[in-house]
Structure 1
Amino acid sequence: MSSEISRRKFIAMTTTAAAAIAAPVTLIADESHAQQVPSARKKMKNMNVLVLHGSPHEDGNTAGLVDIATETLTKNGHKVQRIHVADLEVAPCIACMECQKNPNKPGCVFEDDGASTLEAMIHADALIITSPLYFAAFTAHIKPLIDRSFALCRKFGTKDHMSFVANKPTLFLSTGAGPYKNNGEILEGSCNDYTRFLKLDKVGFFYASSKPAVSDEKKAELKALVETL
């Protein structure tokens, strides 16, 4: 029997296991967000950090968080590449499973901006993935790219589980009008599933309420979190 796992089975498994494994978080991002023990990662120097900005707005509240992260990283000697995902042409995943046939490269039937962005993720030293909260989920602008990330993994749920982006330090940033509880935490659950599936090293999930704008206190918390990347 083949050790490959179907996309449908993967979805069922991750839904069941959503709260089973806690990814390491370095800093609380909301009053109701429980603090956890940071991971013991060895910090890298002169990293190439890829930012996948999932907001339709280049100058909104979430973009403001990206600006803070970029400034902090640049001051520490890192290089930052920022991709505004809304500007990309990314076809939605059609679950054809063609990407799973080659064990040595991601592969995809769609040769579009999604494919080149996945390659950029592979070559980056660290990732920052951002999205404002839309109905407790990723925006429609970045969700196709999240789905297409299926091509970066092989044999999920087996002892041979591998990922082309395994162990990359990854920070998730989000803003929303409501509190973290029953709101941002739902999106963080999706980020945790994404982390497990791609075997990423989750630095943290930072969520800030943006009514009417992100507070100075939150901005300071974010800067401290980015320092740990």
Structure 2
Amino acid sequence: MPGREEIERENFIILVFSGLGTALGIMSFLGYTSDAFGTINFWFFIISCLFMVYCLYIDTKPTNNYHAPQSPMYNPHFHNIITFASFALTGMTSILYIFDTVILHLDILGHFIENKELGKTINSITGGKQMQNILMWVEIFILPELFLRLICSRSFGYLFVFLIYVVFISMFSFSISSLHRSSWIKIYNFFRKELNKAQGNYRQFLLIAIQISDKLSEISQQIYPISKFR
């Protein structure tokens, strides 16, 4: 079992990271149109990435008091590391992803802040069922946001972060989260229903979307077989 000093040190580091992440995320929103946004965006994703590296380190310690997934491929912290790093290295951004990550930082901050009443208030908002549903849809709509940014910019950077997000966030969530999977299935069923009455280019779009969905679902199950998740 870890000693009290070690636990306090870990809690302090987590508190600092989550506080910095929250502050930088809010600054990103407020400064989106400013010249300083690129710098703030870079440091926001760098701090978020380093924070997840530290969380993954804690997960791998034999003295932790909970059972983290044995394989990094099934650890959400590992997936966040890869995705945050891709945004930081390319200088790309996503307003919806910043929002999603700020809520992540806030939720962790609420658990470790010394003011327990304030912490409970924060967690009642960030951990509530309504917020979880909102975040689920936010994570889904990050895909079209990134795709639109890719189309408009024709940037290799956005192509890179788009593919990383698809593999390490969307496909991972689809495989291990029943809530995410049911939401994607609802979207898929909507496309199938629309296909029956669609014509022309709209029908072609739906056919392509359905074919891509079928293929991604198959690949997701191959990369993240649920039987290996612990």
TM-score interval, smaller chain: under 0.3
**More RCO (CA 8 Å, sep 6+):** 1
Which structure features the higher share of strand residues?
Answer: 1
What's the TM-score, normalizing by structure 2? 0.26
User: Rg larger in 1 or in 2?
Assistant: 2
Which structure features the higher share of helix residues?
Answer: 2
